Amino acid sequence: MIANASAGVFEYTWTGASGPATVLDKPLSRGTVHISGTNPHPIDGLLAFDFGSFSHPVDMEIALLGFKFTRRFMASPSLAPLEPVEVNPGLGVQSDEEIVERMRADLIRPTNAHPVGTAAMMPERLGGVVDPELRVYGVQGLRVVDGSVLPLVPMAHTQATLYAVAEKAVDLIRGEGA
């Protein structure tokens, strides 16, 4: 997945906004989600999430390399006419250690609006929750059709991937596909 030279693991997007978005697209870190109360109302905090951001050391290495690439790109002569200014963490933060500290403190968006994997489709013995037909292990007549079934963040925005999952679910539920 990461060793493949053509596999994307880091996304750098420039929208013309105040700064570019940099995203680690294939995190190896794993978090947890637990039931934290008995009130079923979602706003009252029924679930407790720990994203486990950067708990796998390779993730921080990739993020640091990506951040450095972003700095080089923003400092390139072709962007000079736009007069880009690094707001966070700012050019005063230079050493790898300082950058990592700031990334951990306030530059991290754990899911970048792409949360997946809380009910991963993989063998139950490996921690999976649903089988390849989206059926929940040990529960009769229940399927899960959302981003939680993806064991890894796809190297694409999750919306298109989940449209494909939903289309496949329709076929499975109708009994047309395996």
The catalytic residues are 114
What are 22's strand-pairing partners? 12
Provide the b/e sequence for 117-136 (b: ≥16 CB within 10 Å): bbbbbbeeeeebbbeeebbe
User: DSSP letter at 105?
Assistant: I
DSSP 8-state assignment for residue 151: S
Burial-class residue 74 by CB neighbours within 10 Å (0-12, 13-18, 19+): middle
Neighbours of 148 (CB within 10 A): 17
Separation in Å, CA 27 to CA 55, 67, 73: 10, 15, 23
Distances from the Cα of 158 to the Cα of 96, 111, 116, 138, 155, angstroms: 31, 11, 9, 27, 8
